[in-house]
Structure 1
Amino acid sequence: MNYVFLGMSLMLAAASGYWMFGRGTPRPTGTWAMGGLLGAFALAFASYAPLVEDAVEALVPHVARLLSNCASLGAAAAVVAVILQLNMDPAEARRRIRVRLALLAAAVAGMTLLFAYEHFTNRSPEAYALYLLLYISYLGFAVVDFLGQALRQSASTRRSSVRIGLRIAATGCGFALIYVAYKTTRLVDLALGLGLMNSTAECSTLVGRCAFSVTAPALAVLLICLGLTLPTVAYPISQARRRRWEVQSFEALGPLWRDLSAAMPHIVLSPAGTEDVSTDSDFLLQRRVIEISDGILALRPYRSRDAQEAVQATVETGTVNGAATVEAAILAAALADQKAGRLPDDVAPRSSEAASRRDLKGDTEWLLLVASAYARHAGRVADGGRPEPVGAWAHD
Structure 2
Amino acid sequence: MTQFVWIVILGLCVAALVVRLSDLRVKRDNHAVRWFSAGMALLVLSMVLQITAVHLAVDRHTALGFAGMVSNCLTVGALVSARCAFQHLLHPPGTARGRARSQLHLAGAVCAVIVLLFWTTGSNYAEFLAKSGTADAVPVMAAHSYVYVCYVIPVTIVITREALACARGVDRFTARISLRLLAVSGVLGTAYSVLRLAAMLADRFGLPAGPLNGQLIGVLFRTAIVTVVLAVVLPAVGRHLGIDRFARWLGLDHTYRALFPLWRALHEQFPDIALETPARHVPFDAPERALYRRVIEIWDGLLRLRPYLVGGTGAAEVAAALRALRRGEPPPGGGASIASTGDDVARLVELSKAYHAITAAE
Distance of 2:290 and 2:267 partners within structure 1: 20
Kept in 2: contact 1:47–1:53 (CA 8 A): yes
| 1:20 partnered with 2:3 | no
Counterpart residue number, 2:7: 6
Deviations 1:29-48 (A, max 9, x none): 42221112211221222222
- Superposition deviation, residue 186 in structure 1: 2.8
Distance of 2:43 and 2:244 partners within structure 1: 31
Counterpart residue number, 2:260: none
Deviations 1:42-61 (A, max 9, x none): 12222222121222122221
Distance of 1:18 and 1:229 partners within structure 2: 6
Counterpart residue number, 2:345: none
Counterpart residue number, 2:174: 161
Deviations 1:99-145 (A, max 9, x none): 11111111111111111123599989xx9543122101211121011
| 1:144 partnered with 2:157 | yes
| 1:52 partnered with 2:92 | no
- Superposition deviation, residue 190 in structure 1: 4.6
Identity among equivalent positions (%) equals 18
Q: What residue identity is the alignment partner of 2:164?
A: L
Deviations 1:291-339 (A, max 9, x none): xxxxxxxxxxxxxxxxxxxxxxxx99727xx6576x259xxxxxxxxxx
Q: How many pairs does the alignment contain? A: 258
Counterpart residue number, 2:42: 40
Deviations 1:187-207 (A, max 9, x none): 322543x15336xxxxxxxx9
Distance of 2:59 and 2:151 partners within structure 1: 25
Counterpart residue number, 1:261: none
| 1:176 partnered with 2:179 | no
Deviations 1:209-230 (A, max 9, x none): 0321x21111112213322442
Distance 1:169 1:22, change over 3 A: closer
Distance of 1:68 and 1:6 partners within structure 2: 16
> What CA RMSD, in Å, does the superposition of the two structures yield over aligned residues?
3.9
Counterpart residue number, 2:102: 99
Q: How does 1:98-117 map to 2 (within 5 A)?
A: 98-117=101-120
Q: What residue identity is the alignment partner of 1:24?
A: R
Distance of 2:3 and 2:96 partners within structure 1: 38
What runs of 5+ residues in structure 1 fail to find an aligned partner? 199-206, 246-314, 330-359, 369-396
- Superposition deviation, residue 208 in structure 1: 7.4
Aligned partner of residue 30 in structure 1, secondary structure: helix
Counterpart residue number, 2:32: 30
What runs of 5+ residues in structure 2 fail to find an aligned partner? 128-139, 250-263, 278-285, 295-362
Distance of 2:120 and 2:272 partners within structure 1: 81
Distance of 1:367 and 1:25 partners within structure 2: 36
Aligned partner of residue 197 in structure 1, secondary structure: coil
Deviations 1:335-376 (A, max 9, x none): xxxxxxxxxxxxxxxxxxxxxxxxx964455669xxxxxxxx
Kept in 1: contact 2:7–2:51 (CA 8 A): yes
Q: 1:197 aligns with which of 209, 217, 225?
A: 209
TM-score (norm 1): 0.55
Distance 1:231 1:17, change over 3 A: closer
Q: 1:84 aligns with which of 87, 93, 105?
A: 87
Q: 1:216 aligns with which of 204, 209, 220?
A: 220
Distance of 1:11 and 1:165 partners within structure 2: 16
Larger deviation, residues 42-51 vs 93-102? 42-51
Distance 1:220 1:121, change over 3 A: closer
Q: What residue identity is the alignment partner of 1:210?
A: Q
Kept in 2: contact 1:132–1:187 (CA 8 A): no
Runs of 4+ in 1 over 3 A off after TM superposition: 119-124, 235-242, 322-325, 360-368
Whose RCO is larger (CA < 8 A, sep 6+)? 2
Larger deviation, residues 149-158 vs 107-116? 149-158
Counterpart residue number, 1:289: none
Q: How does 1:208-287 map to 2 (within 5 A)?
A: 209-212=214-217, 214-238=218-242, 241=245
Q: What residue identity is the alignment partner of 2:25?
A: G
- Superposition deviation, residue 6 in structure 1: 2.4
Kept in 1: contact 2:40–2:78 (CA 8 A): yes
| 1:186 partnered with 2:199 | yes
Distance 1:179 1:157, change over 3 A: same
Distance of 1:328 and 1:152 partners within structure 2: 42
Aligned partner of residue 24 in structure 1, secondary structure: helix
Distance of 2:182 and 2:292 partners within structure 1: 38
